[in-house]
Structure 1
């Protein structure tokens, strides 16, 4: 059973962060520069939430707000479920599906140590399937 720690081992645990008092536009610029769909929000070094492209679309654009005057703390997602490096991919998929979310912050000993996306889970699942197929083919041919 694959675990979150294996995803973090492949992609790394580097987390791009912002503070809650910057404008949404500045946050979006950072996300575009890094080619990411979410960014972790830290206040005084402590995790407070995540800003996602979905937050922007639903809480700024659809409400007629301006990304140049709206602050991150007005639209960021808070209270997301937390996972640990020991959680299985199946657990992550279940949490993401039940909560209709695409990102999960990863904590170890109450410290943020990474973030995983549904894309990370899908990539790891595909990799696992390829490994299984390869093992089965080797078994059949031996």
Structure 2
């Protein structure tokens, strides 16, 4: 387990649930789903195609701060269109670089046009901590002369 591990490992560990709304859904219904699923963002999918991503941040900045109503604003008006995506074989390190460089918090994982899941900065941080704990444990065993049989 390392930062060079592919993001497919992260998806396997966290689960591949895909939560989404259509672009014509109301922002209110999207926020309700985020609350129900305990997630900070949803994919926006129309006719099986990824068309955007909507997050709590979008809601705060594009609805609340502008005095708009969430029950009459469609997701299409606040979503990030054509979000940055990542392939499942991309490394955790590269995913973290994309998130940091682009100042985003979520990356849809896509392979050949098929949506496999979504990872967040929190998922990556958890993976890195998990990998570091594993490395430390291996080093301690090595120092103590304990080798797996």
Q: Which range, TM-score by smaller chain?
A: over 0.9
Task: Check conservation: 2:50, 2:82, Cα contact below 8 A.
Answer: no
Task: Give the SS at the match of 2:68.
Answer: coil
After TM superposition, where is structure 1 displaced by more than 2 Å over at least 4 residues in a row?
none
* TM-superposition CA deviations, 1:24-79 (whole Å, max 9, x none): 01110011001000011111111101110000011111111111111100001122
Residues 1:139 and 2:142 aligned together:
yes
Which position in structure 1 is the counterpart of 2:107? 104
Task: Give the gaps of 5 or more residues in structure 1.
Answer: none
Instruction: Name the Cα RMSD after superposition.
Output: 0.8
Q: Distance in 2 between matches of 1:114 and 1:99?
A: 19
Q: Distance in 1 between matches of 2:12 and 2:97?
A: 21
Task: Check conservation: 2:23, 2:44, Cα contact below 8 A.
Answer: yes
2:130 to 127, 131, 142: 127
Q: Scaled by the length of structure 1, what TM-score is found?
A: 0.97
Q: Scaled by the length of structure 2, what TM-score is found?
A: 0.93
Q: Distance in 2 between matches of 1:30 and 1:114?
A: 16
Task: Check conservation: 2:21, 2:42, Cα contact below 8 A.
Answer: yes
Work out the number of aligned pairs and report it.
142
